A = this chain, B = another copy of it.
Amino acid sequence: MTIKDIAKNCSVSVSTVSRVLNHHPDVSEEVRQRVLDEVERCAYIPNNSARDLVKTRSDAIGVIVRGNGNLFFSSVLKTVSDEIERCGYTMVLHYIGSDADEVKAGAILEREKKLQGLLFLGGRFDYTPAELSVIGIPFVCCSYTNYFGSLDEKDYSSVSIDDYATAWRAMEELIRRGHRRIAAVIPSRNDRSISELRYRGFEDAMRANGIEPDETLIEETGGCFEMPEAYEGTKRLLKRTEDFTALLMLSDTTAMAAMKALEDHGKRIPQDVSVIAIDGLNVSEYAIPTLTTMIQPAEEMGSESVRILMNMLKDPGYTRHKLLNAPLREGASVRSI
């Protein structure tokens, strides 16, 4: 049974049947009813054979965004959306909280929306194969890898910067400018996630330069990248000690919150304290002073993630782990001492 048969049986043109099936308004109610009745009588299925309908899962790609108000992810999302659409798929967007389980959310979304593939914008770095077994479709970790986990590299894909090396290079910039008393306000030192990995870069860069990390210069904010927590963390650090000349922050927005806390505490940036971060958001170019930061290439990250996911859909054996460069964006928040 084809659209031509429907048209013939109803004594209307093929294009009229098409208009009815596509809900166009320019068809009389009488003709519409006649076509719909015939469609029902013949159990005609537009476009797909019954077999296709069972085989295909829909054209949906799930995108799980972790954390509320993460401005970096907002900037990745536009590219991801554009690229998914350009490839002929439909993006199904789902936000989860900073501490929510993206794997569980992905597994539920996979079933509910009959997804073809998944893209995680942010997530844990320590997946096990058992945990990931609930996901039955190809997925790409966007902005992170499975550094602390036990997944086989061939079982997933990722697009990220080298978080460890990027934190290291931010530190080298501070050390090159003469800083040795360097503080850090970070979500956590040992959450087996992006924060721990960047913290390791912080610590190892110091040691490699002959500086013993000072316990009193590290302040943990409890696992999230939110601005209020970063502000309060910086305040706590300043209460404990003012004996530092530079501060590493792990994102641009938390760095802006830290600059605010420093300012409120009477510290001038960069005269009293230099601040460096990792992200490269547009908004931090307009911070006062302009934030010095390592640029995570948001657009490239988004487009590479979708490109890799498309290859995974075409070729079940395909996976890829892409590391992107994170160049320094020189602002005015770091000075030489």
Q: Report which A residues bind B (CB closer than 8 A).
A: 20-23, 25, 36, 39-40, 42-46, 49-51, 53-55, 57, 60, 68-69, 71, 74-75, 78, 81-82, 85, 90-95, 111, 113-114, 136, 227, 231, 253, 256-257, 259-260, 263, 282-283, 285-288, 290
Contacts and interface: CB of A to CB of B under 8 A. Distances in A.
Contacts of A53: 45-46
Contact of A259 (B257, B260, B288): B288
B90 A91 contact: no
Given A92-B91, A256-B286, A51 B71 contact: no
Contacts of A68: 78
Contact of A256 (B60, B93, B94, B283): B283
A50 B90 CA distance: 23
- Among A40, A68, A253, the most chain B Cβ lie within 10 Å of the Cβ of A40
A288 B288 contact: yes
A54 B45 CA distance: 8
7 contacts: A22-B111, A40-B54, A43-B50, A227-B283, A260-B287, A263-B288, A288-B288
Contact of A90 (B54, B75, B82, B113): B113
A168 to B, nearest CB: 27
A44 B53 CA distance: 10
Copies of this chain present in the complex amount to 2
Contacts of A286: 227, 231, 253, 256-257, 259-260
A334 to B, nearest CB: 16
A90 B112 CA distance: 10
- Among A82, A259, A286, the most chain B Cβ lie within 10 Å of the Cβ of A286
Given A95-B82, A259-B288, A39 B54 contact: yes
A94 B81 contact: yes
A39 B46 contact: no
Nearest to A231: B286
Given A50-B39, A75-B69, A23 B57 contact: yes
A44 B49 CA distance: 10
B113 A253 contact: no
A40 B45 contact: no
Given A91-B92, A136-B25, A50 B54 contact: no
A99 to B, nearest CB: 16
A5 to B, nearest CB: 13
B21 A54 contact: yes
A93 B69 contact: no
A61 to B, nearest CB: 11
B78 A23 contact: no
Nearest to A43: B50
A288 B265 CA distance: 13
Contacts of A43: 43, 45, 49-50
A51 B74 contact: no
A229 to B, nearest CB: 12
Nearest to A253: B283
Contacts of A39: 50-51, 54
